[in-house]
Chains A and B, each alone.
Chain A
């Protein structure tokens, strides 16, 4: 991922704008949408109810951790509980005792025995081939003259 030593490339979880930051960077403004992006690895061991939980780093939800939010991270490790849609750019690890209630989209999902997952899952290197084709965009219709 990193191009030069001490630097790495992150992508804005909101607008997907890529940018290069120092590995020591804890947060940075996105040049695309000008919103702040957290890039620091985190361990969550408490209750956090938010609209969104975005972090371009590795987030570990500890045994006592409980996140209720739309989660977008680089890597997610769950030993506690997550409620809400999850999108992880690299991987989701659901360990024994962990629970996710929500849709999960990630290229790599690993689940241990004793974990709980309820929701729609899209994972794996060949998941694009299994997804139903997206509906064709509706062509804009020419404005019609009002009926008199």
Chain B
């Protein structure tokens, strides 16, 4: 789990909590239960082991050790721990994938990811997939 920044507080959504809706916070949040909706923050978000999160996430630092389904836009870093099950798109300057993590989705990880860098390249790859074009074989 990412450490809480000095002077900041951590909001915890416990294991027995199911939440649907929109959340905005300043410093840090940890989800241990079930969440469905939209999360917006410049701070840190951690999805604990056994947690299930679905929706749109726009945060600074995003760490996943549970299940996540949706799209993530991170201004700092996305970390997938060994127990992570991630399904969706990632746009971040840094991505750390641990051994054992599961990831299925479109990824744009580059220092300029949030400035739209890589979009054209990713779109070209997706277009190629849709067209079903195969490289010429000898």
Whether A46 sits at the interface, judged by CB under 8 Å, is no
Q: How many residues of B contact A (CB 8 A)?
A: 31
* Beta-carbon contact of B103 and A123 below 8 Å: yes
Cα–Cα distance between A121 and B96 once the two chains are bound (Å): 13
How many cross-chain pairs have Cβ atoms below 8 Å apart between A and B? 90
* Of B40-48, B54-62, B121-129, the one touching chain A: B121-129
Say whether A121 contacts B105, CB under 8 Å: yes
Q: Which of B20-78 contact A (CB under 8 A)?
A: 77
Q: Which of B94, B102, B105 contacts A126 (CB 8 A)?
A: B102
B104 touches A108 (CB 8 A): no
Q: Which one of A108, A113, A120, A131 lies within 8 Å of B107 (CB-CB)?
A: A120
| Pair B109/A123 contact, Cβ less than 8 Å | no
Q: Which residues of B contact A124 (CB under 8 A)?
A: 85, 100-104
B interface residue numbers (CB < 8 A to A): 77, 85, 87, 94-111, 118, 121-122, 125-126, 129, 135-138
Interface residues on A, range: 20 to 34
User: What residue of chain B has the Cβ atom nearest to residue A91's Cβ?
Assistant: B99
* A118 and B122 contact, Cβ closer than 8 Å, known pairs A51-B138, A52-B135, A130-B87: yes
Contacts of B125 in A (CB 8 A): 101-103, 118-120
* Contact A119 to B107, CB < 8 A, known contacts A110-B97, A126-B85: yes
The 9 closest A-B pairs by CB, nearest first: A124-B102, A130-B104, A118-B118, A116-B110, A130-B87, A126-B102, A117-B109, A111-B97, A118-B121
Interface residues of A (CB under 8 A from B): 51-52, 70, 84, 101-103, 108-127, 130-131
Interchain CA distance A78-B96 in the complex, whole Å: 15
B94 engages A114 (CB within 8 Å): yes
Complexed CA–CA distance, A85 and B107 (Å): 14
B122 proximity list for chain A (CB < 8 A): 118-119
**Residues from chain A with Cβ under 8 Å of B97 in the complex:** 109-111, 123
